[in-house]
């Protein structure tokens, strides 16, 4: 884990645990997504970067701006999270915290995001068949995202978490060439 991920983990875990105890995982995910959008806005991101190591007053001002932008969109608990992260100079890790929160939520809900890379878009029937097969194999609900890659001659590359299934024609040709060179 990177240093930022290590720092973000307690915030993500505390947020997840609280959201779970309140039965508001989906709501928290949406509010944190809004927060990520706000802190990644160029002027806010620059202010956060320049406040790194600056005084508490500057961090508080940035938090106030974020809270003003998010007014009516986030609840008091997420507002408190922003204040705590700001006081600790941690607004720069909101992205990592959000990613970890989503990972914890997906793990809890037994959902796995899967990216399928193909040379041409799959039909709806192919997507539903592939989703069903992956759900059976992975024993989880699959959230399938399809990407097209024109350099992929044929076949399919599936990425599910740390698992990569490469059934592309490019890789098959490379394996065959490697075997022929070895002989």
pTM for the model: 0.74
Q: Is residue 101 located within the same domain as residue 11?
A: yes
Q: Is residue 89 located within the same domain as residue 148?
A: no
Q: Is residue 133 located within the same domain as residue 72?
A: no
pLDDT, residue 69, reads 93
Which two structure tokens, joined as six digits, stand for 23? 């039965």
Helix (H, G, I), strand (E, B) or coil at 116: strand
pLDDT, residue 38, reads 94
Domain-ending residue, one of 84, 106, 128? 106
pLDDT over 70 at 53, yes or no: no
Helix (H, G, I), strand (E, B) or coil at 142: strand
Which two structure tokens, joined as six digits, stand for 16? 């997840």
Q: Is residue 70 located within the same domain as residue 140?
A: no
pLDDT, residue 175, reads 81
Domain-ending residue, one of 106, 140, 168? 106
Q: Is residue 89 located within the same domain as residue 137?
A: no
Q: Across residues 7-17, what is the average pLDDT?
A: 94
Can you list the positions of beta strands (E) in the chain? 111-118, 141-148, 156-160, 163-166
Q: Is residue 132 located within the same domain as residue 56?
A: no
Q: Is residue 52 located within the same domain as residue 93?
A: yes
The model's confidence at residue 40, banded by pLDDT at 50, 70 and 90, is very high
Q: Is residue 40 located within the same domain as residue 117?
A: no
Q: Across residues 165-169, what is the average pLDDT?
A: 82
Q: Which domain holds residue 91?
A: 3-106
- What is the tally of structural domains in the chain? 2
Q: Is residue 12 located within the same domain as residue 97?
A: yes
Rounded CA-CA distance 76/72 in Å is: 10
The model's confidence at residue 54, banded by pLDDT at 50, 70 and 90, is low
Rounded CA-CA distance 107/177 in Å is: 39
- Give Rg (Cα) of the chain: 21
Contact 63, 91 (CB under 8 A): yes
pLDDT, residue 145, reads 92
Rounded CA-CA distance 121/111 in Å is: 23
Rounded CA-CA distance 166/173 in Å is: 12
Q: Is residue 100 located within the same domain as residue 115?
A: no
């Amino acid at each position: 884990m990177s240093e930022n991920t290590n720092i973000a983990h307690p915030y993500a875990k505390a947020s997840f645990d609280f959201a779970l105890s309140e039965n508001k995982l989906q709501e928290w995910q949406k509010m944190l997504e809004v927060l990520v959008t706000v802190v990644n806005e160029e002027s806010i991101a620059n202010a956060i970067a320049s406040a790194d190591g600056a005084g508490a007053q500057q961090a508080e001002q940035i938090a106030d701006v974020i809270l003003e932008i998010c007014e009516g969109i986030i609840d008091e608990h997420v507002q408190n999270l922003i204040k705590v992260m700001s006081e600790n100079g941690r607004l720069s890790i909101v992205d990592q915290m959000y990613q970890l929160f989503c990972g914890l939520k997906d793990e809890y809900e037994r959902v796995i995001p899967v990216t399928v890379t193909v040379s041409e878009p799959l039909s709806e029937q192919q997507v539903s068949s592939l989703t069903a097969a992956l759900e059976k194999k992975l024993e989880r609900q699959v959230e399938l995202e399809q990407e097209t890659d024109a350099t992929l001659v044929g076949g399919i590359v599936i990425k599910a978490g740390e698992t990569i299934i490469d059934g592309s024609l490019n890789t098959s040709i490379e394996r065959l060439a490697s075997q022929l060179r070895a002989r």
